[in-house]
Structure 1
Amino acid sequence: MILVHCDRNITTFPAIVASPTVTFPYTDYCIWFLTAPANRSLQIKFEALKTTRASIDCSYYYESVLVYDSHGSENLLGKFCGDHSENLPVITTHNSTASIDALISNQGGGSAEFKAIISLTFGPAQGCGGQLDVGATPIQLRSPDVSGNGAYDPDLQCDWILTGLPSKQLKIQFSIFDLEGRNAAGLCDNDYVEIHDGLDGHSLVIGRYCGQLLPTPIVGSSNWLFIRFVSNSANQMPGFVASVSNVDSPCGPSAINVTSTWQTISSPSYPAPYPPNTRCLWTIEVPPSASELQFEFQDLNLEPSPNCSKDFVLFHGAWEDLDHFADDVLVFCGQSRPPLWRHYAHPFKITFVSDGNANQYPGFRLSIRAEGCNRTYSEDSGSLKLAIQQGVCIYRISPSNGQARNVTVSLYITNLVFDDENECHNDKGLLVYDGSTEASPRLLNGSCDSSRTLHSTGPNLLLKFVSTSGGWMWMDYVVTDQGRGCGGNMSLLSTVSANFHSPFYPNLPNATSYDCTWNLQGRAGSSIQIRFEDFDVGDGPCTRNFLEVYFDSPTSRAATPFTRYCPTDVVSDTVLDRGTSNVRVHFVGRAGEIQGRGFKVQIYSHRIDQERLARRFG
């Protein structure tokens, strides 16, 4: 096997291409042109792939390694930057020519390296992978047997990209399945078929299959499927045969144009048991007049599984890269039906996934509608992520029986953005009234300021937005009976993030003593993560001035705090996460001793197995 240095034409295989093995500073830009014999393809197997810098799109301003299915710069097969040591890619070309462009450097801090072994293999010309259209007549996929000995060939990676008819969903059904079984660790890492719900290997992983057990029929969420077959160098078996066809969607219309009237989507066959190995994808389109989406499960009855490892409903923003699981991703499973929840009005996607196990669970039924301006929130806590409409919008926070319970409302402003910054003064922007009418005293007069905290003196707040340009906001509120601005019960059952601050942040009054408790409750199977974004409470003695964090179980309260912070402790940027969905934050301050800005906390409720879910989505 030969090692080929920078800028070479390679026609003899196997071959190795690699970054320089030197210690002095270097930056190299290299191109290798690869040419295989006619009707053969090339397998590029990376044994090392790490650059010192990375960008979202791996642009040429940063180090990157690019693989093309030609000698030119078209037909890009892969684009890599950053550290891929834990998931080294293997690429099979569709043609007999390919090129590798590498910009690599060790001057950005740390170490950078890449190394790839290039070998001859079989490709689409021998039935190994390719782009296939599925029409009215089903097509057949089978494992390649170029040698004709009744078994698939060794050392293959065959990638099929399948495109079906518009408005249909692709179904794959195996009639023969005989592959090498699981390894000693019980994993399908020898020979396997892996099916993705989308156009490429970064799409949601439906499943990885090996051994001799025939997989149940699989229906994707759209007219695209990505199928990968991998074989190693040992134990070739008869392989597989599968039929791929177009089917009508079992999920109903995929595009939902929401209005102010409740609309409903449900799992296939609801209320009868939903089928196994099914995926549904709904795109929620939002009218321009909407400021908020409302979601409410009428029924949620899925197969129970630890941390949603089997069947689940996933809510995510239409633009999001699911590798990163942004803040507005929610996952639900089992029978724990959440309360109604609201979300900022932007295009949304809802995905339903069932695994290969047949069951007798009816599934789910979900109602959706869009809301405009002028409404009232009556819950004891909430996260307001709203689009600000042009004109005048009024929102009231009026908790149920608030007067009788002698409660006040704390409003935590996190983000407040108007498209025209000139609107943020006097009677424009955001106005907040300490009561239920505009005759009540103003707490805020024409502001666009974020990171503000406001507290009512009674059970009501009125928020008035006056805008000619529009914008968006994120605010959280909580109702409390512990005193103005002091504590409260915050629910994260139907949101993944919220904020709370010390009383009157960023100006903590030192003439008042405080004994405040915030009780935080997340969804079952989730973990609450606490991030201190600011902590400045003076330098008084810790015996009378402190902040404690308790991680409780769902059935009992912890007797001692997990941690206690004193006024002189450096707490900003601290992150706490102990894998529990019930957390208490207890703040005590003595009048005349406590002072400063106070503290600001952001909380996240995430699935304990969120990394696993992220891997399933690429």
Structure 2
Amino acid sequence: MIHGRSLFHIVASLIILHFSGATKKGTEKQTTSETQKSVQCGTWTKHANGGIFTSPNYPSKYPPDQECIYIIEAAPRQCIELYFDEKYSIEPSWECKFDHIEVRDGPFGFSPIIGRFCGQQNPPVIKSSGRFLWIKFFADGELESMGFSARYNFTPDPDFKDLGVLKPLPACEFEMGGPEGIVESVQILKEGKASASEAVDCKWYIRAPPRSKIYLRFLDYEMQNSNECKRNFVAVYDGSSSVEDLKAKFCSTVANDVMLRTGLGVIRMWADEGSRNSRFQMLFTSFQEHTVRRVHL
């Protein structure tokens, strides 16, 4: 579970404040400073045995002006099943433009949408295609209802039915910094982080000098199982290793250079047991942006 600043970052960065063309009770809904304030709610959950989450105050009526983001994370080689309790009631509206639950297949607010739900009939069982589900509960300023209770559990990913359960992953992190340097996958073996036959989930933390940003350039890159992101990828994060700071993810045959907006870059390499020939080498360069001041004559 993510606490404190990270949870606030997730909720704040994903809030959607405008619903184009939506009117209610024949009047245009006005956005005020009061309605813009959404109560912090929602969680990042990855409990191994599943769990339960609810709308605020359930089974009593949820309060108005809510924006809650729930992100469910499964372990590698698992998918998610999501069930809604029959005691369910969310203000009905055409196409669920007002109060609603929105579910997406992935960890982001722009992941493929599975459905948007409201009314008195609880949603059907929802199954993810991978390790994440993103769920948003939205309530406007009028007509509150009971809300929902949802439970989730994990099931084996059918894409890996012949490989079985993944063994525990070795600890694999690297700290790097300075004006420039090389990040490369061969460090995993050189520094004894994992054997050549173990699955790895490794992170390189690059810390630039104060007031600097980071530019990343790939010198070498090859995924053993191209276009199979569940099996191998290289990802770049900007500011932290949390999923909301994901800048780019590469698992095909091409990897592009990346410019970061902060002085902390995180490179992550995931490779399962059958993808350990995947490799990359990356040059990082720290730089400072200089502003040109105009001189008036």
Q: Classify the TM-score, shorter chain.
A: 0.3 to 0.5
Q: Which has the higher helix share?
A: 2
Q: Which has the higher strand share?
A: 1
Normalising by structure 2, report the TM-score: 0.44
Normalising by structure 1, report the TM-score: 0.23
Rg (Cα) greater in structure: 1
Structure number with the bigger relative contact order (C-alpha 8 A, sep ≥ 6) is: 2
